[in-house]
């Protein structure tokens, strides 16, 4: 893992425990680093404009802008207003999904049986965390899944398979506007997106320091 520049000022450095949500504001020009500390851990992520939560991450516009089904270094994370929210500037893993969405109690029930109905899920994590910022369930849109391996076949079919991220793999994004970031450190145990064993991740927000 590439070290954060020694001259940078660390705004936040925190561990997000397994299965729980988290949120923070990333200011324009700051860098968000998400680290898969133990490997094979999906990190469901949403972005909203900090000053207008009606403008939020758009998977369709993000994929259309770069002409690819996946996000990686160089990707512009686009909003529903067609503006760049963040730019991905580093990616040591190379596989991140923005098509499969978040697990939910309802989808768990359909996919894995009624015995999974009350298991914790990312959509519920998002709802809990979003409420802290005046958002509701209707504001939860299709999200990014960092470190989640979702191959697409030529017919557009996809499935969640074993992750390939290694301990210490990370992504970095530079904010092009002030953004609210919501994360659900995915609690899924019924498919291999987390290696059937959810683990903590690290999040760092930093900015250029004075010379």
- HSE value, Cβ hemisphere, 13 Å, CA-based, for 145: 28
The values of phi and psi at residue 128, to 5°, are -60, -45
Look at residue 3 and tell me if it is in a domain: no
Look at residue 7 and tell me if it is in a domain: no
The pLDDT of residue 193 is 61
Range of the domain at 84: 16-207
The pLDDT of residue 186 is 81
Look at residue 4 and tell me if it is in a domain: no
| Cα angle: 90, vertex 191, 92; to 5 degrees | 10
**C-alpha to C-alpha distance for 134 and 198, rounded to whole angstroms:** 28
Look at residue 30 and tell me if it is in a domain: yes
Write out pLDDT tens, residues 107-166. 544 454 555 554 567 889 999 999 999 999 999 999 999 998 776 777 777 677 667 799
The pLDDT of residue 110 is 45
The pLDDT of residue 39 is 92
**C-alpha to C-alpha distance for 197 and 191, rounded to whole angstroms:** 10
- How many domains in the chain? 1
Q: Which residues of the chain, if any, have pLDDT below 50?
A: 105, 108-110, 112, 118
Look at residue 136 and tell me if it is in a domain: yes
Q: What is the pTM of this model?
A: 0.90
Exposure string over 174-183, b if 16+ CB within 10 A, otherwise e: bbbbbbbbbb
Look at residue 8 and tell me if it is in a domain: no
The pLDDT of residue 117 is 54
Look at residue 5 and tell me if it is in a domain: no
**C-alpha to C-alpha distance for 105 and 120, rounded to whole angstroms:** 7
**C-alpha to C-alpha distance for 57 and 65, rounded to whole angstroms:** 13
Look at residue 153 and tell me if it is in a domain: yes
């Amino acid at each position: 893992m590439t070290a954060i520049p020694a001259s940078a000022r660390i705004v936040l450095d925190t561990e997000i425990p397994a299965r729980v949500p988290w949120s923070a504001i990333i200011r324009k020009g700051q860098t968000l680093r998400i680290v898969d500390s133990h490997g094979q851990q999906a990190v469901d992520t949403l972005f909203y404009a900090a000053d207008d939560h009606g403008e939020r991450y758009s998977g369709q516009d993000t994929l259309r802008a770069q002409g690819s089904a996946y996000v990686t270094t160089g990707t512009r994370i686009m909003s529903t207003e067609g503006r760049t929210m963040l730019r991905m500037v580093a990616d040591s893993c190379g596989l991140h999904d923005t098509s499969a969405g978040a697990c939910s109690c309802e989808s768990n029930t359909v996919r894995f049986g009624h015995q999974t109905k009350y298991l914790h899920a990312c959509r519920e994590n998002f709802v809990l965390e979003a409420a802290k910022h005046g958002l509701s369930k209707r504001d939860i849109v299709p999200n990014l899944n960092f470190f989640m391996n979702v191959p697409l076949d030529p017919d557009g079919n996809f499935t969640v398979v074993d992750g390939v991220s290694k301990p210490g793999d990370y992504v970095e994004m530079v904010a092009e506007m002030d953004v609210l970031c919501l994360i659900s450190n995915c609690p899924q145990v019924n498919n291999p997106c987390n290696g059937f064993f959810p683990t903590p991740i690290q999040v760092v927000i930093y900015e250029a320091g004075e010379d």
